[in-house]
Structure 1
Amino acid sequence: MVGSLQRYDAADFRTRAGRHRPEDEVTGPGPTYLAHGDHALNADMVLGIDQTTLRDAAVLIPVIEDGNDARVILTQRTATLRKHSGQIAFPGGAVDPGDGSVDFAAKREAQEEIGLDPDLVDVVGHLPDYLTMTGFRITPVLSVVKPGFDLVPNPAEVDAIFEVPLDFLMDPANHRQESRVWEGRERHYFVMPYGERYIWGVTAGIIRVLYERLYA
């Protein structure tokens, strides 16, 4: 349960992110990413993915700097995309050879997908890599976004842009566990319904890691 004295503003998020190091919280044998989130629920499947060739990707976790109640920018992907179509997602995508860093890639993708000015984005930290069943190794890039942005969805990739209060996403009461059979094996995952939006899959998994690493 979220405590009444807990803070959910961008300044506090910045402080928590700045003192967090992904490598500092290994709680058992194996890679760091197996310690938290839905990877911990599907360790055998994730280790199987880790033996394959993965493409590097980055997503931006954009927390808006606006008063005491921070909000997180999320998107709904178009139904025509080849992977993760129609799902709720953070802005992001594959790291291109010319990007130079995951931070640059995450900000570039956010500008391409939703028109977010990279000059308004301050990177404040990272979460451990998140491995996907579709062949990506994703680095979640934590950021604080200054007010004054004007977001425009790229219709080829994004159907909608919306914001969710950080305190909603960081409340474990809003994190449900579900499962389904995927390629003959049961996979467990988190879901976080918010109004008409159904947050699940990779995005919910990363949000759960954010909660466990910074707020639990």
Structure 2
Amino acid sequence: MSKPILKTGPATPVGATEFFDRSKARLRFDVPPGLYDPNIVPLSGDPGTDKMLEIIAREQPVRPAAVLIPVIDRPEPTVLLTQRAAHLNDHAGQIAFPGGKIDAIDAAPVDAALREAEEEVGLSRQFVEPIGYLDLYGTGFGFRILPTVAKVKPGFELTINHSEVDDAFEVPLSFLMNPANHQVHSKEFRGMERSYYAMPFAERYIWGATAGILRVLYERIYLS
């Protein structure tokens, strides 16, 4: 993230039309050099998290990844999220966006995000209108994630790939973009305190990189 992780602001209502208009005006498809350059460490604005990312960058190779933030253009817009399969080695059972590693076959990060969304949940590209990239997001596992915000037309049918995903579900955009639902938790990493976001929704515990990226979306679209 490019802004302080603990930044707060009002819960300003933004309708569907205004949300998509703001997104199109503020987001671009410029690929940040830090996605591939190990000498550029993505900043979160939280000192503990930034220090952790600096340590991880020295210890692990850069792992470029892309995710799709599918905002479904319903009367009340929703965000499509997944629950990763329980048998996976990394982040088993966690709430995530469709996405994954950027492969050599992908012409751009947005292509990786669209490909992964098709592979994981069967979201057809014909329903997806990519809008632009958010800021680069670094994780404690060495991933450099470039999120693509996209407008999704209703009427699609999903096919869950259970080798990767256990479930797919929608959460109201208004819930995710309300700072009253943005909890800040902390965890120790090698003697340093680092902060992270959590946005519990019903029985779903949205946290870590997924919640952090949603917070970036809020700051870019609602606070800028």
- What TM bracket, shorter-length normalisation? 0.7 to 0.9
1:213, CA displacement in angstroms?
1.1
Distance 1:15 1:49 in 2: 37
Distance 1:127 1:162, change over 3 A: same
1:19, CA displacement in angstroms?
1.8
Could you say which residue in structure 1 is the equivalent of 2:96? 89
Q: Aligned AA for 2:216?
A: V
8 Å CA contact 1:34–1:40 kept in 2: the answer is: no
Q: Secondary structure at the match of 2:52?
A: helix
Are residue 212 (structure 1) and residue 212 (structure 2) matched?
A: no
Q: Secondary structure at the match of 1:34?
A: coil
- Which residues of structure 1 form unaligned runs of 5+? 24-30
Matches within 5 A, 1:39-188: 42-51=49-58, 52-67=60-75, 69-188=76-195
TM-score normalized with structure 1 length: 0.87
* More off after superposition, 106-115 vs 148-157: 148-157
Distance 1:123 1:41, change over 3 A: farther
Could you say which residue in structure 1 is the equivalent of 2:43? 34
Distance 1:183 1:114 in 2: 36
Q: Moved runs in structure 1, 4+ residues, more than 4 A? A: none
Could you say which residue in structure 2 is the equivalent of 1:199? 206
Identical pairs, percent: 48
1:183, CA displacement in angstroms?
4.4
User: How many residue pairs are counted as aligned between the two chains?
Assistant: 204
Partner deviation per Cα, 1:89-135 (whole Å, 9 max, x = no partner): 00000011011111110000000000000111100011111111112
Distance 2:114 2:196 in 1: 27
Distance 1:40 1:174 in 2: 23
1:149, CA displacement in angstroms?
0.3
Distance 2:136 2:14 in 1: 26
Distance 1:185 1:117 in 2: 43
1:18, CA displacement in angstroms?
1.5
Q: Which residue, out of 11, 14, 19, partners 1:2? A: 11
Distance 1:137 1:62 in 2: 19
8 Å CA contact 1:91–1:106 kept in 2: the answer is: yes
Distance 2:214 2:175 in 1: 11
For the aligned residue pairs, the C-alpha RMSD in angstroms reads: 2.1
Partner deviation per Cα, 1:168-193 (whole Å, 9 max, x = no partner): 00000000111122344332111100
Distance 1:65 1:162 in 2: 15
Q: Aligned AA for 2:131?
A: V
Q: Aligned AA for 2:64?
A: D
8 Å CA contact 1:75–1:162 kept in 2: the answer is: yes
8 Å CA contact 1:179–1:187 kept in 2: the answer is: yes
8 Å CA contact 1:123–1:141 kept in 2: the answer is: yes
Larger relative strand fraction:
1
Q: Aligned AA for 2:117?
A: A
Q: Secondary structure at the match of 1:42?
A: helix
